[in-house]
Structures are given as C-alpha cells and as structure tokens.
Amino acid sequence: MMAKPFHPRKTILIMLGCVIAGIIIVPHSYFNNLVIALTAIVFATSFLIFARRDASEGALLKEIPKHLKELFYSLVAFCLIIVLALAASTVFYDSFRITIISLFCISFTFIVYVAAKDKESFHILMTFISVSLCLTSLINLYIFWQERDLAEGLHRLSSTMENTNIFAVFLIILIPICISYIINLKDTLRRIIFSLMLVPALSCLVLTYTRGAYVAFFLIIVALILLINWRFIPIVFLIALVTIPFIPQPVVERLLASGSDYSSTVRMEIWQTSLEVIKNHWLAGVGAGPMAFNQNADLVAYGLPHSHNLFIQIALETGIFSLIAFVVLVVALFVRGFGAYFKTSRYHKVYLAGFIASLLGIMAFGIFDNVWFYPRALLTFWIMVGLFLGLLKLTKQELDQQDDQQANQLADQQADQQDDQ
C-alpha cells in the first residue's frame, strides 16, 4: 500500500488556519504582539519558497490581477503613507512601534490572499474561523457566568480581548462571514451543527451591551437578507416584532440612553476636539499610537487612548491622505464585491454577501469606536480583507472558466457546421 504523498502547501495552509484560530481564541493575557510579526515572516517566506518551485504560484505573486489592481494599489499607498507619516510624529518611538505592528497586520492580507488559492483552501480557512469563533465565545460566556455574582450595576461581558468593545469588533467582523459559511454547507447535519455553534457568538454580542455593535449588526442582517434572499424580509420583520418583548431590559436601557449618557457626551466632545486637531495637522497627523494622541494638548484632558472613531483616528494619526487611501480601498472592495455578486454562482454570491455585510458592519461600528485600537482586532480586519480579495479572485476564476467553456462550445459548433458543409 503506497503512502499518501506529502503536500507541504496544504500543511502550511493548516498551520495558517491554526494561527488564525489562536488569534481569535487566545486570551489577552497570554498573547504577545511579537507573534504577529513572527508568523507574518514565517508564512510570507514559506509562500515565497513555493513561488520559486511552482510557476503558477510565482505568477500569482508577481502579477497583480487586473480586476484587483486598484485594491492592491490603494492598499500599498495606504502603507506608504502611514510610513511617511512617521516623520511628523510627536512621539517617534511609540508611533514607530504601532506602525510596524500595523504593517505586519496588513501583511496578513497578502498572506491570506495567496493562501486562498482555490475553493478548497478558502473552505478550510473558513472552517477554522467558524470553529474558533464558537470556542472563544464559549470561553467568554463561561467567564461571564463565573463573574455574575461579582458584578455591580450593568454586568457586561468581561472579554478575553482586554475590552468588551474590542470583542464586539471580533464578533461584527466574523459573524456575517460565518453565516455565509453555514449557508454554503451542503450537508444538512453539518449546517445544523455549525448553526448551533454560532449561538454562543450571538449571545456574546448581546451581552457586550455595545450600542455601536448593535447598530452594525442591524445593518449586517439587512445586508444579508437583501443579498441572499430578499423574500425573507417579511418573515424576518415578523420575527423581529415577536422578539421585541423578549429583549433584555439592560439592552433597552442602553439603547434609550444613547446620546444623553456620559459615554455619548464624551464621544461628541472628543470628536469635535479631534477634528480641530486634524485641521492643524491635516497633512501627516500627530503620529500613530496612544502616546502621540495623549501628548496633544487639546486631547490629553480626556485621558483616552483614541478618538472613538476609526475615520477620525486615521486622519488624526497619519493625515488626510491615509484616510483617502483607506476610503478608496473600502469603496473599491464594495464596488468589486457587488460587481462580482451579480455575475457569479449562488455559492459565491452567498460568500460575497457575508463579506460585504462584514465590511459594512465594521465600517458602521467604526463611526462609534476606533475598531483598530487593539492589534488583534486590526489583524482580524485585514485577514477578513485578505479573504475578501481571495474570494474575488475565485469568482473571477469561475467566470473565466465559464467564458472558456462557452468559447469551446462555440468553436465546436462552428467546427460541426463546417463538417456538415
């Protein structure tokens, strides 16, 4: 009996899945940001080695696909701008540290894009993400249960990600793409199992009592319904009406307090102050990181590490041009995503709906919080972008195959007609 051949590329793919699982699961107290840098170097080196051995892989790395050029160009431009912005930092050491971490996080976009070479590779990575989301949610629910008697006042989920709002960021990014993964499962039993595995994540989202996440999740559900099957709108609307009386009272109180409580008031003030600072430092910002943020005389009085708004924070730290590059990237993702959605198969439509909803949700959440403040949240965002780019690559491959088949069929028909004549 012959032994099965060893496939090093698939082994590295499994290892990448394990790393992504660790990023999602490992509690904050056990995680070191150095892991991000080391794993980025290891996987980038591994894929470059395969590029030298595999001609198709080499072509993938050397040539930017035409339909994704503006996405990669805007991403590279964003990286260059945040590096150049270091020159204007008021606390160079801290800004340098944050910039290096950010670049390593962004590098995972390219690593995941290259790893999602085909449908099977993409499915493997999505399986790791779905299982990891369930496990980290169960851990957080266990901690929540253990602390139920110690909490005073509103008992919010005590996250393994250092901060409750940060864990909400993970949930908003991952839940919609996991929903798409479940819908695309062919086996009914597996679909039921993974649906049940998603319940802990949804429970955690409720228990974060994060209003920005609630708004983002509402937009996610709307986007998923419209893109996957708009006929479900009346059913979902009726279900929403029926569940209103069962909404936990703390959730209702948090929503009703929006705009009038201390958290909302401080956000309004710091947004206004941050915009004034941007007017004076619009070209290159004040520098990346909390130290540069707090050293600014106008912002130090708040004692906060960031502005609680992703778009304001990008412009504040690295200038208006970095914000423009980022917005171009996001808009291009939406445009390419919708463009592919209307041309591809049902399988890819469902996944595209999930990634479009995820991007929409996290951008909406970014209006109310700096969703990039925590390095692993930033890393998870760029992993999602890498998967999104990989999905666009797979949809293009599918469309090219369809075009080739049609061309071959047309050629065969013409050949048959010539033979008949």
Is residue 250 assigned to a domain?
Answer: yes
Is it the case that residue 289 has pLDDT exceeding 70?
yes
Cα separation, 320 vs 245, whole angstroms: 45
Measured in residues, the chain has a length of 421
Q: Which residues contact 241 (CB under 8 A, 6 or more apart)?
A: none
Report the 10 Å Cβ neighbour count for 94: 19
Cα separation, 360 vs 217, whole angstroms: 9
Cα separation, 380 vs 398, whole angstroms: 27
Maximum distance among all alpha carbons in the chain? Answer: 89
Contact yes or no for 69/263 (Cβ under 8 A) = no
Strand residues in 41-188 grouped as ranges (E): none
Is it the case that residue 404 has pLDDT exceeding 70?
no
Average pLDDT score over residue span 43-55: 64
Q: Which residues contact 270 (CB under 8 A, 6 or more apart)?
A: 299, 302, 304, 307, 308
Cα separation, 237 vs 164, whole angstroms: 29
Is it the case that residue 400 has pLDDT exceeding 60?
yes
Q: 294-338, pLDDT tens digit by residue?
A: 877 566 656 778 888 999 999 999 999 999 999 999 999 999 999
Is it the case that residue 257 has pLDDT exceeding 70?
no
Nearest C-alpha neighbor of 181 from the set 383, 348, 420? 348
Mean pLDDT estimate for the chain: 84
**Which tokens is 349 given?**
């439509």
Average pLDDT score over residue span 5-29: 82
Q: 342-359, pLDDT tens digit by residue?
A: 988 899 999 999 999 999
- Provide the Cα torsion 41, 44, 50, 51; round to 10°: -130
Q: Is 266 helix (H, G, I), strand (E, B) or coil?
A: helix
Q: What's the pLDDT score for residue 116?
A: 87
Is it the case that residue 1 has pLDDT exceeding 50?
no
Provide the percentage of residues in the chain whose pLDDT is more than 70: 81
Is residue 414 assigned to a domain?
Answer: no
How sure is the predictor about 134, in pLDDT bands with cuts at 50, 70 and 90?
very high
Is residue 193 assigned to a domain?
Answer: yes
DSSP string, 236-293: HHHHHHHHGGGS-HHHHHHHHTTTTSHHHHHHHHHHHHHHHHHHHSTTT-S-SSHHHH
Is it the case that residue 177 has pLDDT exceeding 80?
yes
Domain that holds residue 363: 10-396
Q: Taking the model in full, what pTM does it have?
A: 0.89
Is residue 249 assigned to a domain?
Answer: yes
Number of domains in the chain: 1
Nearest C-alpha neighbor of 220 from the set 205, 203, 235? 205
Cα separation, 72 vs 85, whole angstroms: 20
Is residue 344 assigned to a domain?
Answer: yes
Is it the case that residue 63 has pLDDT exceeding 90?
no
Average pLDDT score over residue span 168-175: 95
Higher pLDDT, residue 59 or 87: 87
Cα separation, 170 vs 419, whole angstroms: 62
**Which tokens is 297 given?**
């005389």
Q: Is 374 helix (H, G, I), strand (E, B) or coil?
A: coil
Is residue 403 assigned to a domain?
Answer: no
Is it the case that residue 2 has pLDDT exceeding 60?
no
Is it the case that residue 197 has pLDDT exceeding 50?
yes
Let me know the angle formed at the C-alpha of 156 by 155 and 158, rounded to the nearest 5 degrees.
115
**Which tokens is 416 given?**
């048959």
Higher pLDDT, residue 52 or 120: 120
Q: How far is CA 368 from the centre of its chain?
A: 17
**Listed range (32-46, 76-90, 214-228) with the worst mean pLDDT:** 32-46
Provide the percentage of residues in the chain whose pLDDT is more than 90: 45
Cα separation, 94 vs 71, whole angstroms: 29
